[in-house]
């Protein structure tokens, strides 16, 4: 007697889980321009000194930056990376507890400010040394010609981190950013990463921010 195939033999149950795809999507890139922006945006001043990327709703892992001069760079110009967050911070000895978030009627107790002092060479290597507090000047920045990009990897990179919180300021030198799905710089939901340039009013830069959604974060397909 012929055997009747089971339903599962014809239509086996789906065994693949999409959890990995949901948690670790392909890297995304946000492109921003910092520098003089002309009269069309005169309401924000003659020189757009800073741009920002938000942690959004799900959180992000910022994994690298690519900075491309759109004009010949001016000697002494610099970049600074500053994270503003209400969440607790832990960069070795540079730590801060979570702070109270304000609302429309009640002020919060402050915000955690994390300065990332990264200095990298213009040849795109992944070697970091400690930069200054107010900015991170490129080696040989005055010779950086137009459209010559500088790649700054955060995953596995080393830098000095300065955390300023309502309770005080502390510093961690030679902090090494983690690797893996949670590698790079973590932007919690509601965090803001500000990418600022120096006071030069001539040079203009394209900043490509590579990031992934934080592990466990949700997003729309």
Among candidate residues 202, 205, 207, the one with its CA nearest the CA of residue 70? 205
94's CB contacts (< 8 A; 6+ apart) are 114, 161, 162, 163, 170, 171, 172, 175
Residue environment code for 77-104, b if the CB has 16+ CB neighbours within 10 A, otherwise e: bbbbbbbebbbebebeebbbeebeeeee
How far apart CA 12 and CA 119 sit, in angstroms, is 55
Residue environment code for 171-192, b if the CB has 16+ CB neighbours within 10 A, otherwise e: bbeebebeeeeebbbbbbbebe
How far apart CA 55 and CA 218 sit, in angstroms, is 12
Work out the average pLDDT over 210-216.
86
Percent of the chain with pLDDT over 90: 24
Phi and psi at residue 142, to the nearest 5°? -65, -20
pLDDT tens digits, 40-68: 444 444 456 788 999 998 899 999 988 88
Q: Which of 79-83, 169-173, 215-219 has the lowest mean pLDDT?
A: 215-219
pLDDT tier for residue 92 given thresholds of 50, 70 and 90 = very high
Judge contact between 79 and 209, C-beta under 8 A: no
CA angle 167, 79, 122 (to 5 degrees): 135
pLDDT tier for residue 125 given thresholds of 50, 70 and 90 = very low
Phi and psi at residue 176, to the nearest 5°? -105, 120
Q: Is the pLDDT of residue 189 over 70?
A: yes
Judge contact between 169 and 100, C-beta under 8 A: no
Judge contact between 62 and 154, C-beta under 8 A: yes
pLDDT tier for residue 34 given thresholds of 50, 70 and 90 = confident
């Amino acid at each position: 007697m012929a055997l009747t195939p089971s339903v599962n033999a014809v239509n086996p149950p789906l065994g693949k889980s999409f959890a990995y795809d949901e948690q670790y999507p392909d890297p995304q890139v946000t492109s921003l321009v910092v520098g003089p922006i002309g009269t069309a945006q005169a309401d924000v001043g003659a020189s757009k000194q800073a741009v920002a990327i938000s942690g959004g709703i799900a959180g992000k892992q910022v994994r690298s930056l690519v900075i491309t001069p759109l004009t010949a760079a001016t000697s002494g110009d610099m970049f600074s990376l500053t994270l503003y967050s209400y969440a607790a911070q832990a960069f070795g000895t540079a730590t801060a507890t979570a702070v109270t978030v304000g609302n429309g009627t009640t002020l919060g107790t402050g915000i955690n400010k994390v300065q990332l002092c990264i200095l990298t060479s213009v040849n795109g290597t992944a070697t970091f040394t400690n930069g200054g507090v107010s900015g991170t000047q490129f080696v040989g920045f005055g010779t950086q010609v137009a459209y010559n990009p500088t790649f700054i990897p955060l995953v596995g990179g080393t830098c000095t981190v300065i955390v300023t919180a309502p309770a005080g300021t502390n510093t961690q030198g030679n902090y090494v950013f983690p690797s893996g799905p949670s590698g790079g710089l973590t932007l919690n939901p509601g965090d803001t990463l500000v990418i600022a340039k120096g006071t030069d009013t001539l040079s203009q830069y394209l900043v490509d921010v590579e990031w992934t959604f934080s592990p466990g974060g949700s997003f729309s397909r």
